[in-house]
Structure 1
Amino acid sequence: MNILILGGSGILSTDFTKMCLDKGNVVYTLNRGNRTHFIDPRVKLIKADLRNEPENVLREKIFKEIPSYDVIVDFLSFIPDHLKRTLSILNGQFIQFIFISSSTAYRKKCEDEILTEQSEIGNEKWDYAYNKYLCEEFLKKCSINYTIIRPYVTYGKNRIPFPIIPGDQYTLLARIMANKPVIMFEQGDAICTLTHTEDFAKTLYELLLNEKAYKEAFHITSTSEQTWLEVYTILCELLNRKPKICSLDRAETEKYMPEFYEILVGDKGTNMRFDNTKVSNAIGHSVYNTVSLRDGLKQSVDFFMNNSYMQKIDYKFDGECDYIAAKISKQKCCILESPVRRNKDVLYYHIMRFPLTNYLVRAKRAKKMDSK
């Protein structure tokens, strides 16, 4: 197959790209080329900016070598306008178009619901989830062989799954290693379904040019269920530390960490369980679930610990967590140590850690949110 992957260097697309290459396909990736250490050297890289370059320029780059593709997989569309522009550029020059949506688009009726593809979608509690739903609605009106894929929380060597975590994810590991309290939502009691990216890639691959997948939507998740507290406990065991949490309820989360409120009440702070019957029927067997949670988390921890370029600390987040821990559970903490700490890191930490400056920053943030 000739496969075009829009993205290719993200956590979810990296293992899928590798799977396609290992199966002997010709794989092209359209990518800005900023994260080359995550781009497989075997791919044919189309270096381009899908959001900002003119459509005619992008079309010329995409179809320079071949007139059409067997499968195009879109990891880059997050709002309907993204999808509309992408499909306009591609101009139907493919057999199958796969849109990576999200299982957060489901609109649960209750906490005990086990989600199927027949469950209601249109989660209005989180903008990201609702926009993915809107993308799906637009795609369903298109006269193409589309396939909608709804992954849930995925993780791999360079992503640690956790509900309250910054972009520099090593910060979480550093806090655990320093015996600092980790912020949890409602004791971490919510049930989560975590899927390793290798297992996701294997299942997704079997939907390529699969006629049972045309004009259909599937979620691809593992069959493993656990609470977020259990995930945290495993991370502590892998780092040889004892669990130490500071738990926030809904009101406290909205007050102290409003930037995480939507994602928690609309997704990771709720029970998320799935029935994979539909995708299993389409591929002819059960979904892949070959990587255990402990083994997968160990792979992630080892990758972060063995690669210095992954060991970045978000000092604003660290200071924010220490402020909350002192305020809620009276736990005192000091700034995280880092071999590459700059003066501004200390400043960022102190801005978020101490009451007066913290109050001013939060007041500014609240004013900005009110103006939206």
Structure 2
Amino acid sequence: MTEQSLLVIGGTGQISAACVREAVRSGWSVSVLNRGSTSSRSLPEEVESIVADVRDEEALVTALAGRRFDSVADFLTFTPDDLRSVLRAVVPHADRYVFIGSASTYQKPPAALPISESTPLFNPWSQYARDKIACERLLRDEHLAGRVRATVVRPSHTYDRTHVPLLGGWTVIDRMRRGAPVVLHGDGTSMWAMTHSDDFARAFVPLLGAPEASGEAFNIMSSELLTWNEIARCLSDAAGGSLHVVHRTTHDLVAAAPEWDADLRGDRSHPALFDSSKVREVAVGWEPRVPFAEGARQIVAWHDADPSRRVVDPEVDALYDRLVAG
């Protein structure tokens, strides 16, 4: 069987680095295109590095001259203008284009659960989500016109060991260790899906060469259902801290921290119960392997391994104090 080639645009992010590693394990010849930035996420030595700025169409054309790939997976395109540029520069060099969308694009609040690939795309609170929706519409039109063979993948909250999945990042873990209260939106009981990047990658890679994935969109999310209270508890337990939660309404949180508006009203305040059965028809036998309790231990261990990673933001810390005092 001829080795298949994959170009990954990005390749060093929370999701993309895991997908690169899994693709190599699965026998793909992988090239990674980015600006050559350093990352804490190491890639297999057999991965080829192509240095170019994805926002520079001319540089992309030059970097890919004479190249051909079976699939391209794009983790770095977020707006329709950028997508048009990437399609012009990359599609002539690829048989398949895989766009990384987002579950934040789904209707907020959802009219029905679980959220499937047929749930309407509508999110008035998040510019990021609106841009991703516009990208999907553009890509659909290009696919229907026969100018690209496209697949869309919609991850939800996907994390790796570098990412603390609470607003405020490591500052929140530090507060837990100090016994200081932390704040969660609502009453903390809304459901949320946390997916480890390694689990995401094992479902993602089979889509790359699957003919039946062309023209389709796929959810990839863990089936483990967690409340925000449980997410905080897992992190506190992993850190050896004390968990004291103060609940505040989303309205009050957004009033105090407008920068959290898109994250809260556009995503986290709504239940996240997803149907991922469609991807299992292609990634046969796929099931997530990393429960969040284990993921939380990985997060804390990675931060504890290097003091420079345990960054406490005094402004965020003071914000939490104000929210607690409320």
Q: TM-score range by the shorter chain?
A: over 0.9
**2:193–2:272 Cα contact (<8 Å) kept:** yes
Give distance in 2, aligned partners of 1:254 and 1:20: 40
Give distance in 2, aligned partners of 1:110 and 1:56: 41
Give distance in 2, aligned partners of 1:20 and 1:100: 16
SS of 2:208's equivalent in the other structure is coil
Q: Which stretch shows the higher mean deviation, 174-183 or 225-234?
A: 174-183
Give distance in 1, aligned partners of 2:231 and 2:53: 36
Instruction: Give per-residue Cα distances to partners, 1:176-222, cap 9 Å, x unaligned.
Output: 11111112111322210111100100000111110110010011001
Deviation of 1:283 (Å): 2.6
State the number of aligned residues. Answer: 318
Give distance in 1, aligned partners of 2:190 and 2:121: 20
Matches within 5 A, 1:1-372: 1-40=4-43, 41-51=45-55, 53=56, 55-63=57-65, 67-108=67-108, 110=110, 113-142=113-142, 143=146, 144-162=148-166, 164-165=167-168, 169-285=169-285, 287-326=286-325, 328=326
Which amino acid is 2:150 matched to?
Y
Question: What's the C-alpha RMSD, in Å, of the aligned pairs?
Answer: 1.7
Give distance in 2, aligned partners of 1:109 and 1:60: 44
Give distance in 2, aligned partners of 1:231 and 1:36: 26
Give distance in 2, aligned partners of 1:240 and 1:284: 38
SS of 1:72's equivalent in the other structure is strand
Which amino acid is 1:315 matched to?
P
Q: Which stretch shows the higher mean deviation, 289-298 or 95-104?
A: 289-298
Deviation of 1:110 (Å): 4.2
Give distance in 2, aligned partners of 1:240 and 1:57: 48
SS of 1:149's equivalent in the other structure is strand
Give distance in 2, aligned partners of 1:171 and 1:209: 41
Give distance in 1, aligned partners of 2:93 and 2:20: 20
Higher radius of gyration, 1 or 2: 1
Instruction: Give per-residue Cα distances to partners, 1:96-138, cap 9 Å, x unaligned.
Output: 1000000111115647621111111122221111111111000
Instruction: Give per-residue Cα distances to partners, 1:216-257, cap 9 Å, x unaligned.
Output: 001100111010110101111122222112222133112201
Instruction: Give per-residue Cα distances to partners, 1:41-73, cap 9 Å, x unaligned.
Output: 43211122212x3x233211133xx52111100
Which amino acid is 1:106 matched to?
Y
Give distance in 2, aligned partners of 1:172 and 1:10: 22
Give distance in 2, aligned partners of 1:124 and 1:172: 28
**1:200–1:288 Cα contact (<8 Å) kept:** no
**1:150–1:217 Cα contact (<8 Å) kept:** yes
Give distance in 1, aligned partners of 2:115 and 2:18: 25
Deviation of 1:304 (Å): 1.1
Give distance in 1, aligned partners of 2:126 and 2:40: 32
TM-score (norm 1): 0.81
Give distance in 2, aligned partners of 1:112 and 1:123: 15
Misfit runs of 4+, over 3 Å:
108-112
Give distance in 1, aligned partners of 2:47 and 2:172: 33
**2:125–2:261 Cα contact (<8 Å) kept:** no
Give distance in 2, aligned partners of 1:185 and 1:224: 20
**2:52–2:59 Cα contact (<8 Å) kept:** no
Instruction: Give per-residue Cα distances to partners, 1:335-363, cap 9 Å, x unaligned.
Output: xxxxxxxxxxxxxxxxxxxxxxxxxxxxx
**1:73–1:99 Cα contact (<8 Å) kept:** yes
Q: Which has the higher contact order (CA 8 A, sep 6+)?
A: 2
Unaligned 5+ residue runs, structure 2?
Answer: none
Give distance in 2, aligned partners of 1:250 and 1:57: 44
Deviation of 1:36 (Å): 3.6
Q: Percent identity?
A: 27
**1:8–1:39 Cα contact (<8 Å) kept:** no
Give distance in 2, aligned partners of 1:221 and 1:27: 24
